[in-house]
Amino acid sequence: MAMAVYGMGVVLAPAMGPVLGGWLIDNYGWPWIFYINVPVGVLGVLMVDAFVHDPAYLRRGVKRIDWLGIAFLTVGLTAMQVVLERGQRENWFESSWIIAGTAVTVVALMALVIWELRVPEPVVNVRLFRNVPLAGGTGIGLLFGVALFGTTFILPQLMQQLLGYSALDSGLVLAPRAVVVFMFFPIAGWLYKYFDARLLIFGGLLMLGWAYYNLARLSLEVSFWNLVPLLVQMGVGMPFMFVTMTAVSLSTVPREHMTDASGLFTLSRSVGGNIGYAVVATLVANYTQVHRAYLVKNVSDLNLAYGAFRSGAGAFLAHQGLNTVTAGHTAEALADAMVNRQATMLAYNDTAAILGITLVATIPLLLLLPGRPSQEQVLTDAA
């Protein structure tokens, strides 16, 4: 039960966040998407203090705090976050700051792994990656975070930039996914008790891959009702893929190491989400330039279609009161805007295709996971 609640929160957060965030932006402004986290965070801390307690087998005294491990972890993750957030803006490795940040990230995280293998009470128990199901599930979780959070980033951006949606409307487009996730969570949990977990995860991956395939075929004529079926497909696939994977990945971890293992699993998903944001922003920017370069080749007086558009647009603008020279320049600007919109749409399609391929590529990792859970594990998960 606890694992199901955790998984529901992980998946619903990126589904419901854009709706609430869009409403706050439209009505109160950008700063409120950060202010809203303050009372929610305080409430979460109070609820954890009141209702969450360690089981008896975890109540042990800490003999030594791993301060050096905490320092390595903090420096490594902070540097990585800065690199991922500013990489696209600074043109990645053409910036000395990005190179320096990447070097700090690599050195700090490598030092973290080496150090944590030596201390008796590590802050990050990397020894648990010797557990093959945990290692495989963590790898799938990282790539799932890339695709899930990348989609949460890419869809609202597409709808606002290209389709003219408001922040709230673009967030509402993601609402059907959240509704379907709510509906299929209990179904996925029930099926987990009776079927091979790898089969359920495989089905979820196929459903998500199908949704990404359709996302890669959108055009500028797409409407809200064209997007709803795609998001419903995602909503169906997420519970079967993520919740089942979380449970089965941790199923072979000894109880006394469960906290450390779940922490590693959660960290991998969070890191995957951060990577997803950076990857999506970079892919969209780069593919937009590539597609624009190809499309611009057709914007020539030798192209009869372009000549007809320019003449018709120029005549219409001249009829609206513009002089001939201004009308001609404005018609060219309109053609340029059309090329940019089409290039950006094609870039979004390519990015969605890459995210879908990323998910499908995790299928071989399913061989690292155990199959149908034992009755003892089912009872443990229910508790």
Q: Which residue ranges make up each domain of the chain? A: 2-62+131-297+335-382, 64-120
Query: Quick check: 5 pLDDT over 50?
Result: no
Q: Which CATH number fits domain 2-62+131-297+335-382: 3.40.440.10, 3.40.250.10, 3.40.50.300, 1.20.1250.20?
A: 1.20.1250.20
Non-local CB neighbours of 193 within 8 Å, separated by 6+ positions:
373, 378
How high does pLDDT run on average in the chain?
Answer: 80
> pLDDT confidence of 18, banded at 50, 70, 90?
low
Res 239: pLDDT: 84
What would the two tokens of residue 304 be?
């009869």
Res 266: pLDDT: 82
> pLDDT confidence of 346, banded at 50, 70, 90?
very high
What would the two tokens of residue 17 be?
């966040």
- The amino acid that residue 219 corresponds to is S
Res 63: pLDDT: 63
C-alpha 267/C-alpha 273 separation (Å) is 10
47 vs 300: which has the higher pLDDT: 47
C-alpha 152/C-alpha 174 separation (Å) is 8
218 and 348 in contact (C-beta within 8 Å)? Answer: yes
What's the pTM?
A: 0.79
Query: Quick check: 374 pLDDT over 70?
Result: no
Query: Quick check: 6 pLDDT over 60?
Result: no
**Containing H/E element for 143?**
helix 132-161
Q: Please state the rounded mean pLDDT for residues 40-66.
A: 73
Q: Over the stretch 240-253, which tens digit does the pLDDT of each residue have?
A: 877 788 888 888 88
Res 305: pLDDT: 74
Res 4: pLDDT: 45
Half-sphere exposure of 336 (CA within 13 A, CB side): 6
Q: Over the stretch 75-109, which tens digit does the pLDDT of each residue have?
A: 988 888 888 888 878 888 888 888 998 999 999 99
Q: Which regions of 18-57 does DSSP assign to beta strands (E)?
A: none
- SS3 string of 207-218? HHHHHHHHHCCC
What would the two tokens of residue 56 be?
């008896």
> pLDDT confidence of 138, banded at 50, 70, 90?
confident
Kindly report the backbone phi and psi dihedral angles of residue 39, in degrees, each rounded to the nearest multiple of 5, phi listed first: -65, -35
**Percentage, residues of the chain above pLDDT 70:** 87
Res 376: pLDDT: 46
Q: Over the stretch 313-341, which tens digit does the pLDDT of each residue have?
A: 777 777 677 777 677 777 777 877 888 88
Q: Over the stretch 216-271, which tens digit does the pLDDT of each residue have?
A: 888 888 888 888 888 888 888 888 877 788 888 888 888 878 878 888 888 888 88
Rg of the Cα trace of the chain? 25
Q: Please state the rounded mean pLDDT for residues 276-289.
A: 87
